[in-house]
Chain A
Amino acid sequence: MSKPLIEVKNLRIETAEDSRTLVNNISFEVFPGEAVGVVGESGSGKTLTALSILGLLPRGVIARSGEINYSDSNLLASSEEHRRSIRGNQISMIYQDPMTALNPVMKLGKQLSEVLEAHDVLKDEAPERVFNAFKEVGIPEPDRALVSYPHEFSGGMRQRVMIAMALIMSPKLLIADEPTTALDVTIQQQILALVSEQRRKSGMSMLWITHDLGVVANLVDRVIVMYAGQIVEVGTVKDIFTNPQHPYTHGLLASLPKSDVKSRERLMAIPGVPPKPWMVENSCAFSPRCGRATVECFTQTPPLKTNEFTSAACFHEIGKNQ
């Protein structure tokens, strides 16, 4: 068993002022070279988890306790300078909305060369590296892109720029926070292909955040399912899709539109809405919406139990899929 690239232990994220729980004591690992998908609805805490790795939590939200171990140090406890040196360099992140994630009044070339500058790359190397970075991600006319502004490009192109920016220092881990959600389906596919290709070439690990279970099917090796601030299931992509053990995951899969044209089954939505994480800290978060819930589900948080298929936080795992 190789050593994990990054290890999150008992991470707890709360609002700074009134200590409301947003992410409730989660733990997971990402190994070198592997791609992990984090799937969950909005409010599940998946984005906050991703942001906390790089110390980018928004104002009013803090990581109250836990460890994020990377390269023999706990990122939550190290200095800001240490975290800064890792950002964009060893661990990079790309974001959901390419419209707003790029500085609107700064030339794209400069936005990339800044990354090099921040990590002590020699100035004369910069123009060439930026040019190559643009080429790598498939931006046509890279020399024009160098002096262009974000608003001159389409959403898909902007996302490519962001990817170029994230990969220019050849990071070991790429965190992607729903980067294709705001794009057209065809562009989505292009971006997914681009990222997969880059991964293949460099062997970097990836943490891909999404609300769409379907997206991760051909993209990642393992899947983490989050719900209301907790991890409810972890498993390989194959196992999650064929034998999900947690009722929520099962429900998610059932609600995916099937590509089988002949299928006449109606799309199943799970009735109800996800609760706020701080309201379900001491029970199974999914119990109100679960068809299999019993008394203990409402009074205790189920621990992650590993069986032959996946690890699921449930007192009543589903077992083999019929």
Chain B
Amino acid sequence: MRLARTSGIAARLLSVLVTLFGISVFIFIVLRVIPGDTITGSLGIETGVLTPEQIDDLKRYYGIDKPLILQYFSWITSFLSGDLGFAYSTGVSVLTLTASALPVTIELALFGTISGVIMGIAIGMFSAKKPGSTRDFLGQLFGLLALAIPGFVLSTAIVTIMANKFGYFPNGYEYMTPWEDIWMNLQQMLFPSIVLGIAVAAPVMRTTRSALLETVDKDFIRTAFGKGLNSRIVQFRHVLRNSMIPIVTMTGIQFGYLLGGAVIVEKIFALPGMGRQILDAINKREYATVQSSVMIFAILFVTINLVTDLIYRRIDPRIK
């Protein structure tokens, strides 16, 4: 049994590595091959503040003057050895940029996911209690609107109302990390987390509701009532607990998506995270930054999916 279990995980890891390889090739094609000459050209003109060593590093990163396949390997080896390229305009290495931007995005994604999951489970439970009733309709309406109203609309509305009407807009000030000023940091995270939370709540609510409805009809729930357990205990200890697996899976997926999908929210609320890093790089034609940042996102997402998978294998005692 032990052997089978480890080889199960090993097979999974192998699969993940193959996917990562595929991802790197994909990114390479989309972000390097297609713009092709533009990048090669810009290395001559736009490298303003870079030192000659940095320019050489970049040339190695891009694999300039090499055949296509070698270009790819050149990039991959640079990337894996920690050379993520340099930003033309500032000379700062992408690695440094990422080191300060990533925590911001992670913090935002965490807050967004947690608030979204709490909202989603609560509304899902609310809806599932009486399927087909008015409360169910309201719950599902919420789910639909949360999905249909774009994040940028909600964000713009919040900015308009809060900043212009109430004069309260913590995101108008310089960003503070939690170590610098925890109170300011939390305030700055507040609105963007709400916006992201709403976006997360929609699928979580849907998953929760359908998982609950499916579980509630199961025989062991009848047994639970038949034992004399009260409604609250049955709901939480039996129904919800058994519905957790799809909910946990969905949570993991949402968290992964928030990391990369919070791009617009980061921009509107002026949070210096990875999303804003990519957007700025796109506007300034900093190709290396874009390429490396996107690769990092992909790695994170795949890793989170793997972790979610492992977690759910642990919480379901049936899986051996």
Do A and B touch, yes or no (CB under 8 Å, in the complex)?
Answer: yes
Cβ 8 A contact of B228, one of A105, A106, A119: A119
Identity of the chain A residue whose Cβ is nearest the Cβ of B318 in the assembled complex = A151
In the complex formed, the residue of A with least CB distance to B242 is: A105
With both beta carbons as reference points, the residue of chain A lying nearest to B315 in the complex is identified as A105
Mind listing 6 A-B residue pairs with CB under 8 Å? Answer: A84-B229, A87-B227, A103-B224, A104-B317, A106-B241, A165-B223
- Name which of A88, A102, A105, A162 has the most chain B CB atoms within 10 A of its CB: A105
A115-B228 Cα distance, complex, nearest whole Å:
7
For A102, list chain B residues within 8 Å (CB): 220, 223
With a CB–CB cut-off of 8 A, which chain A residues contact B217?
A: 58-59
List of B residues within 8 angstroms of A162 by Cβ? 223
**Which label, helix, strand, loop or mixed, suits the secondary structure of the B interface?**
helix
List 4 A-B pairs, minimum CB-CB distance, nearest first. Answer: A88-B228, A88-B227, A87-B228, A100-B219
For residue B223, which residues in chain A have a CB less than 8 angstroms away from its CB? 95, 101-103, 162, 165
Q: How distant is the Cα of A100 from the Cα of B237 in the complex, in angstroms?
A: 17
- Give chain A residues whose Cβ lies under 8 Å from the Cβ of B164: none
Chain B residues in 8 Å Cβ range of A103? 220, 223-224, 238, 242
Interface residues on A, range: 20 to 34
**Interface positions of A from 41 to 100, Cβ below 8 Å from B:** 54, 56, 58-59, 84-89, 92-93, 95, 97, 100
> How many Cβ-Cβ contacts under 8 Å join chain A to chain B?
76
Known: A102-B220, A105-B318. A88 touches B226 (CB 8 A): yes
Known: A56-B222, A84-B228, A103-B224. 18 other contacts (CB 8 A): A56-B225, A56-B226, A84-B229, A84-B230, A87-B228, A95-B222, A95-B226, A100-B220, A101-B219, A103-B220, A104-B242, A104-B317, A105-B241, A105-B242, A114-B233, A118-B228, A118-B229, A118-B233
Q: How many angstroms between the C-alpha atoms of A56 and B238 in the bound complex?
A: 16
Note all chain B residues with C-beta closer than 8 A to A134: none
B316 at the interface (CB under 8 A from A): yes
Contacts A104-B318, A149-B318 given; does A114 touch B220 at CB 8 Å? no
B218 at the interface (CB under 8 A from A): yes
CA A126 – CA B144 in complex, angstroms? 47
Residues of B within 8 A of A89 (CB): 228
Please give, as numbers and ranges, the residues of chain B lying within 8 Å of A86 by CB-CB distance.
Answer: 228
